[in-house]
Structure 1
Amino acid sequence: MAQFADFDSRGYPMVDVRTGYGQWVGSYERTVEDLMDLAVLARLAVPDWASVARAADLGCGTGRTGVWLRAQGVQAVDGVDLTPEMLALAGAKGAHDRLVEADLAATGLPDGGYGLVVSSLVDEHLADLTPFYREAYRLAAPGGLCVLVGLHPQFIMAAGMPTHFTTDGGEDVAIDTHLHLVSDHLTAALAEGWQLAEMREGVVGDEWIALKPKWSRFRGIPVSAAYVFRKV
Structure 2
Amino acid sequence: MVDFSDFDTRGYPTVDVRTGYAGWVDTYEQTVEDAMDLAVLDRLDTPRWAEVRRAADLGCGTGRTGAWLRGRAGAGLVLDGVDLTPEMLARAEARGAHDGLTEADVADTGLAAGAYDLVVSSLIDEHLADLGPYYREAFRLARPGGHCVLVGLHPYFIMAAGMPTHFTGADGADVAITTHVHLVSDHLAAGLAAGWTLVEMREAVVDEVWIALKPKWAKYRSHPVSAAYVWEKR
TM norm structure 1? 0.99
For 1:54-69, list aligned pairs within 5 A.
Answer: 54-69=54-69
Offset of 1:38 from its aligned partner? 0.1
Letter in 1 for 2:208: D
Q: Which residue of 2 aligns with 1:181?
A: 183
Letter in 2 for 1:36: M
Distance in 2 between residues matched to 1:220 and 1:25, nearest whole Å: 30
The alignment status of 1:160 with 2:162, answered yes or no, reads yes
Distance in 2 between residues matched to 1:18 and 1:24, nearest whole Å: 10
Distance in 2 between residues matched to 1:73 and 1:149, nearest whole Å: 18
Offset of 1:73 from its aligned partner? 1.3
For 1:36-51, list aligned pairs within 5 A.
Answer: 36-51=36-51
Distance in 2 between residues matched to 1:23 and 1:3, nearest whole Å: 25
Letter in 2 for 1:193: G
Distance in 1 between residues matched to 2:103 and 2:67, nearest whole Å: 18
Offset of 1:11 from its aligned partner? 0.3
Letter in 1 for 2:163: M
Q: Which residue of 1 aligns with 2:16?
A: 16
- Where does structure 1 differ by over 6 angstroms across 4 or more consecutive aligned residues? none
Offset of 1:164 from its aligned partner? 0.0
Distance in 2 between residues matched to 1:154 and 1:88, nearest whole Å: 33
Distance in 1 between residues matched to 2:224 and 2:49, nearest whole Å: 25
The correspondence for 1:125, drawn from 124, 127, 145, is: 127
Say how many residue pairs are matched.
232
Q: Which residue of 1 aligns with 2:25?
A: 25
Deviations 1:68-96 (A, max 9, x none): 00000151210000000000000001100
Q: Which residue of 2 aligns with 1:112?
A: 114
Gaps of 5+ in 1: none
The alignment status of 1:203 with 2:182, answered yes or no, reads no
Q: Which residue of 1 aligns with 2:223?
A: 221
Report the 3-state secondary structure (helix = DSSP H, G, I; strand = E; otherwise coil) of the residue aligned with 1:228: strand
Letter in 2 for 1:70: R
Distance in 1 between residues matched to 2:218 and 2:113, nearest whole Å: 45
Offset of 1:100 from its aligned partner? 0.1
Distance in 2 between residues matched to 1:83 and 1:2, nearest whole Å: 26
RMSD over aligned CA atoms reads 0.5
Offset of 1:2 from its aligned partner? 1.0
Distance in 1 between residues matched to 2:153 and 2:79, nearest whole Å: 23
Report the 3-state secondary structure (helix = DSSP H, G, I; strand = E; otherwise coil) of the residue aligned with 2:118: strand
Distance in 2 between residues matched to 1:217 and 1:195, nearest whole Å: 36
Deviations 1:58-77 (A, max 9, x none): 00000000000000015121
Deviations 1:147-177 (A, max 9, x none): 0000000000100000000001100000000
Distance in 1 between residues matched to 2:68 and 2:213, nearest whole Å: 21
Conserved? CA contact 2:54–2:79, under 8 Å: yes
Offset of 1:17 from its aligned partner? 0.2
